[in-house]
Structure 1
Amino acid sequence: MCQGQESSQVSHVLFFIPFVMTSFLRYCVGLDISKDTLQVCLSVIDSSGRVTVKATTKVVNKPTGFCALVNWVARHRKLELPLNYLMESTGVYHEAVAWYLYQQDQPVSILLPNKAKHYLKSLGYKSKNDKIDAQGLSRMGLEQQLPLWKPLSKNLYALRLLTRQHQRLQELRTQSTNQQHALEHGAFDNGFITKQLANLVKIYDQQLTALEEAIAQLVDDDPILKPRIERLVQIKGLALLSVAVLVAETNGFEGFTNQRHLVSYAGYDVVENQSGNHSGKTRISKKGNSRLRRILHMPAFNAVRFNEPTCKALYERVYQRSGIKMKAYVAVQKRLLLMAYALWRHGVKYDPLYLANQASQDKKIVPTSGTTQDQPAEAELSYL
């Protein structure tokens, strides 16, 4: 081949390289939600990973605005590609639009605000406004595979409203009783305030009793919830109110594929602080649903007090190792949560001696590598 022919072929190859086209993969609509408005950003990602903003707008946070949002997205969605909506869980302001989109068969993902915040920081954004937040959410939805949101059933939603109202009234009652205690032991007393506080406590007690009756009635009327919750209340330490909070705050344990996800959601996951020769304090993250940790506080004490076998053994083991009672009780809280999750997921009855029976069976099994006859394989214990 002569030199002229070789150069012409090379130039021919190089000529077609710039015209290699990248295909688009999917759309994502980022929604930054406030009380009155929805800041919207529609973006698309191509096969090379490049994200392009197609359009932005703002609509009112009302049913008319939700309809306008869907129509606006349809006009700017030029290609028949997969589409997803991504928003933050901003109190209750996101619930109406999320429900509307779900009823329109639109895929929706909902993030905790701290996750979106850290993602925007990782992109190097220094400013913050509604438009930037919407673009960041849109980009995040394209670059990550986020789980789809599934709403609560009507009964679970009602149960969550009842249990959260019970918590608020219980906190107000505690404040009033603390004020009563302060007046009784102070240098000066005021009979008028003392009488008011006594009346408040009486009203709170009546309202709390009414809420507990409403929770019991709701569970009793639901043929699906009733048998499942009755199995959970058989665990020593867990009463109806505790189980109702666990079920309502976890959406009936829906969406948790394993125990690790549930532990992280409740804030019981362990955070280490170690680097090189430095060894900091190891603790639980507490970055999760605080209502779960709050409602499991007293059941953990009761489970140990009434000698629930699994929890009692765990408490003694952790307390003997650490010498800190509260750390042992926190371990019991986590155990109660996982026991409830196992019973709910598998639909089995509560067996207080399950672990003891399982351990005795493991001792009879010929040991494999990594286990001995005196050390049962804890990986097989589903309650752990």
Structure 2
Amino acid sequence: MIVGIDISKTSFDVAWLEAGRQRHQTLVYTAAGFAELLALTPAGSHYVMEATGVYHSRLAVWLYEAGRSLTVLNPLVVKRFAQMQLSRVKSDKADAELLRRYGEQHVLTPWQPESDEVVALQQAHGWLDDLVRARTQLLNRQEAAAHQPQPSAFVAGQMAAQLQQLEQQIEDCEQHLAALVKKSFSALYARLLSIPSVGPRTAMELIIVTAGFSRFTDVKALGAYIGVTPTTYRSGTSVRGQGGIAKLGQGRMRQLLYLCSWTAKSCNPACRALYDRLKAAGKPARVINIAIAHKLLRQAFAVATTNRPYSAEYA
């Protein structure tokens, strides 16, 4: 039996079929509500929910530890499914029912929680992203305040103090991330650093966003996740749109690989050969750099999955 679950901050809605009849229940998002969910649904049920920030995490882990089967969906997948169903109602009850119907019509991939080490990395990484965004926002405010006819010395001092605090927090968080990576993924980290042009920051980011390369068994799926795979925009005889890359993935990781491509075309033999071939074909610099970034990602996947450091012969 498929059970659809729509989760909010304080409650969650459950939808399932019982003897051919639609059933719905709203439960409190507490341990008591979780226990009531198990009492309402059979042990062989498969629960389907979507990733809602961090709100889904507690229930997902609780169901997993209770021995129940579940699937956590990408919200974009659910949104597109709703559009295909021509859904015109948006409510917690309707969303739970939508998730139930999705589960009945598709092959579901069982979900399992990340390891404690990966969870710790992800939380610190998310906090670092918040700090970097806050610093960027503050720098923009400083720039705007400097153009005031009469800048406030008080405001300037407050901004400078806050910027100093943010810089220290970012440094502390980066050191914490580095320590976690070296503790839990030291061998993988060393292998990634063996790739010419891949530095400590890029190696750490690769480990974090791929959960130590445990999420992917295929390099094409990894390329799509990062967002460096090419796209085609053609239809019939008249539509000949400009291609590009599918930017649905990890923007920060893609940016780091792009920066690495600048040096890879001179110090990484395989990337150098790729650069020469595309340059001779008249490809633009941006296209060449993206191709090199993709090549670096494939090299990273190879050293991570084969448990061997970079070798120019195999690359």
CA displacement, residues 119-144 of structure 1 (integer Å, 9 cap, x when unaligned) = 12222322222222211211211221
Cα distance change of structure 1 residues 250 and 53 upon mapping to structure 2, 3 Å threshold: farther
CA displacement, residues 203-223 of structure 1 (integer Å, 9 cap, x when unaligned) = 22211221122122223333x
- The SS at the match of 2:41 is helix
- Aligned-residue Cα RMSD (Å) equals 2.5
Structure 1 residue aligned with 2:244: 283
In structure 1, runs of 5+ residues without a counterpart are 1-26, 45-50, 356-384
1:182, distance to aligned residue in structure 2 (A): 4.6
**Contact in 2 for aligned 1:315/1:328 (Cα 8 Å):** yes
* Residue 131 (structure 1) aligned to one of 93, 96, 100: 93
Q: Which residue type is aligned with residue 118 of structure 1?
A: R
Cα distance change of structure 1 residues 109 and 66 upon mapping to structure 2, 3 Å threshold: same
TM-score by length of 2: 0.89
Structure 1 residue aligned with 2:227: 267
Instruction: Kindly indicate whether residue 31 of structure 2 is the aligned counterpart of residue 63 of structure 1.
Output: yes
Structure 2 residue aligned with 1:192: 154
Q: Which residue type is aligned with residue 144 of structure 1?
A: H
Cα distance change of structure 1 residues 97 and 188 upon mapping to structure 2, 3 Å threshold: same
**Contact in 2 for aligned 1:163/1:244 (Cα 8 Å):** no
Q: Which residue type is aligned with residue 137 of structure 2?
A: Q
Structure 1 residue aligned with 2:5: 31
- The SS at the match of 2:55 is coil
Cα distance change of structure 1 residues 269 and 168 upon mapping to structure 2, 3 Å threshold: same
1:57, distance to aligned residue in structure 2 (A): 1.0
Q: Which residue type is aligned with residue 55 of structure 1?
A: R
* Residue 88 (structure 1) aligned to one of 50, 54, 62: 50
1:325, distance to aligned residue in structure 2 (A): 2.3
Q: Which residue type is aligned with residue 348 of structure 1?
A: R
In structure 2, runs of 5+ residues without a counterpart are none
Indicate the structure (1 or 2) with the bigger Cα radius of gyration.
1
Q: Which range is displaced more, 117-126 or 307-316?
A: 307-316
- The SS at the match of 1:32 is strand
CA displacement, residues 95-139 of structure 1 (integer Å, 9 cap, x when unaligned) = 111111111121111111111111122223222222222112112
* Residue 216 (structure 2) aligned to one of 256, 279, 288: 256
- The SS at the match of 1:150 is coil
Cα separation, 2, equivalents of 1:328 and 1:271? 15
Cα distance change of structure 1 residues 221 and 251 upon mapping to structure 2, 3 Å threshold: closer
Map of 1:141-220 to 2, 5 A cutoff?
141-183=103-145, 189-220=151-182
Cα separation, 1, equivalents of 2:262 and 2:78? 37
Structure 1 residue aligned with 2:191: 231
* Residue 330 (structure 1) aligned to one of 290, 299, 308: 290
**Contact in 1 for aligned 2:124/2:177 (Cα 8 Å):** yes
Structure 1 residue aligned with 2:183: 221
- The SS at the match of 2:3 is strand
CA displacement, residues 308-333 of structure 1 (integer Å, 9 cap, x when unaligned) = 22233334444554643223222222
Cα separation, 1, equivalents of 2:138 and 2:260? 24
1:159, distance to aligned residue in structure 2 (A): 0.8
TM-score by length of 1: 0.74
1:198, distance to aligned residue in structure 2 (A): 2.7
**Contact in 2 for aligned 1:156/1:248 (Cα 8 Å):** yes
Instruction: Kindly indicate whether residue 212 of structure 2 is the aligned counterpart of residue 244 of structure 1.
Output: no
1:59, distance to aligned residue in structure 2 (A): 0.9
Q: Which range is displaced more, 90-99 or 55-64?
A: 55-64
Q: Which range is displaced more, 160-169 or 264-273?
A: 264-273
Cα separation, 1, equivalents of 2:117 and 2:218? 24
User: How many residues are matched?
Assistant: 314
1:347, distance to aligned residue in structure 2 (A): 0.8
**Contact in 1 for aligned 2:11/2:26 (Cα 8 Å):** yes
Cα separation, 1, equivalents of 2:55 and 2:256? 26
1:53, distance to aligned residue in structure 2 (A): 4.9
Q: Which has the higher contact order (CA 8 A, sep 6+)?
A: 2
Cα distance change of structure 1 residues 326 and 70 upon mapping to structure 2, 3 Å threshold: same
User: Percent of aligned positions with the same letter in both sequences?
Assistant: 29
Q: Which residue type is aligned with residue 129 of structure 2?
A: Q
1:61, distance to aligned residue in structure 2 (A): 1.7
